[in-house]
Amino acid sequence: MKTIVIAGGTDGIGKALAATRLEGGDTVVVIGRNEVKGKAFLDAAEQLGARDRAYFLPADLGLLAENERVLASLRARFPVIDTLVFCARFYRSERTETAEGLEENFALFYLSRYLFGHGLADALEGAEQPVVVNVAGPGAGLGVVRWDDLQLRRGYHGGAALGQGGKLNDLLGVSFAERHGDRGIRYVLIHPGVTSTSFAGEYDAGTLGQIAAMQAQAKPVSAALPPILAAIDGPPAQALSAFVEGTRISVERSGFDRGAARRLEEATEQLLRDRRGAPRGAAPEAAPGIDLS
Ligand SMILES: NC(=O)c1ccc[n+]([C@@H]2O[C@H](COP(=O)([O-])OP(=O)(O)OC[C@H]3O[C@@H](n4cnc5c(N)ncnc54)[C@H](OP(=O)(O)O)[C@@H]3O)[C@@H](O)[C@H]2O)c1
């Protein structure tokens, strides 16, 4: 049986995955902000007789301090983690900054995944078939990245923020595989296709209309699970793989450029150094550590 951590496991694809793996006998940790959804997961686990294998960690993963707090708790409670799944995202039609002064999409959709992957690599290395499953939108070209304005201060659009976030996660996969591939950890990027989930977000009227149209065409959540389950149960042999709706795409094409991945990693490390050195002025006080005992 595996230990699976699902960031964004309280709703949508992450929630369905959490329920499936709990039913299958795994230990499942879900992370999200909404305590009601978290309690529903724990209640369902109770019904299943699996309460001792179910954990809910309330956290806003858009905040660096919250990521650090959750990572510390996970490392303390789970010396070995088999599977790490990224499903957290939140669409915003208007550009918004976190209390720590970072653009929300960049912080949640990319930076949190960066911190979690590298921050739990030691725990993953201890597993028999360790895998990171990054559910995002692999495959776009590098043109969607605004290298001189990664936090989209100029000309923000919610769709562009999501598109760039997907590309940054592709490049994160490339640099993660370079750094940790020889430790046996597999990194799998998965585009689930348009799926009927909560599409959590704050939408303007125009985008709301588009979302309603997408929802009408979208596949059920259960149809998005098989490629994710396949990656968990039989991680690919390659350090990095990418799939769009279950079909493998090449990670040798230009969208997975190693130079671009190193450039992004350097920019990210610099940003994190700057943030950690900076006084936490406007940031909220970190909540107390989570007791997972
Ligand atoms: N659905 C699609 O059509 C589609 C298409 C392409 C790619 N994807 C990718 O698939 C993944 C899952 O998408 P989905 O549609 O299943 O998402 P969803 O239904 O909108 O659920 C999003 C999850 O993220 C969590 N979340 C949002 N903001 C958070 C924050 N600040 N801190 C912590 N957790 C947060 C939510 O939990 P709380 O509400 O508890 O905070 C929820 O569990 C995403 O990475 C998405 O990019 C989806």
Q: Which of 227, 246, 255 is nearest to 133 (CA)?
A: 227
The pLDDT of residue 173 is: 98
Output the CA 32–ligand 1 centroid distance in Å.
Answer: 9
The pLDDT of residue 281 is: 45
Q: Which residues does residue 28 pair with via DSSP β-bridges, in sequence order?
A: 4, 54
Distances, alpha carbon 255 to alpha carbons 137, 176, 288, in Å:
12, 15, 40
The pLDDT of residue 283 is: 45
Closest ligand 1 atom to the C-alpha of 10? 43
* Residue ranges covered by each domain of the chain: 3-277
The pLDDT of residue 161 is: 96
Helix residue ranges per DSSP H, 218-257: 221-233
What are the strands, taking DSSP E only, across the chain? Answer: 3-7, 27-32, 54-58, 83-86, 91-92, 131-135, 186-191, 201-202, 240-244, 247-249
The pLDDT of residue 279 is: 57
Low-confidence ranges of the chain (pLDDT < 50): 280-293
Query: Which residues are CB-contacts of 279 (< 8 A; sequence separation ≥ 6)?
Result: none
Asked whether the beta carbons of 60 and 66 are under 8 A apart, the reply is: yes
Closest ligand 1 atom to the C-alpha of 33? 41
Residue ranges lining ligand 1, Cβ < 6 Å? 8-14, 32-34, 37, 59-62, 87-90, 108, 135-137, 191-192, 194-195, 197-200, 218
Counting residues of the chain whose pLDDT is more than 90, the rounded percentage is 89
Output the CA 3–ligand 1 centroid distance in Å.
Answer: 21
The pLDDT of residue 291 is: 46
The pLDDT of residue 254 is: 87
Output the CA 256–ligand 1 centroid distance in Å.
Answer: 23
Fold of 3-277: Rossmann fold (3.40.50)
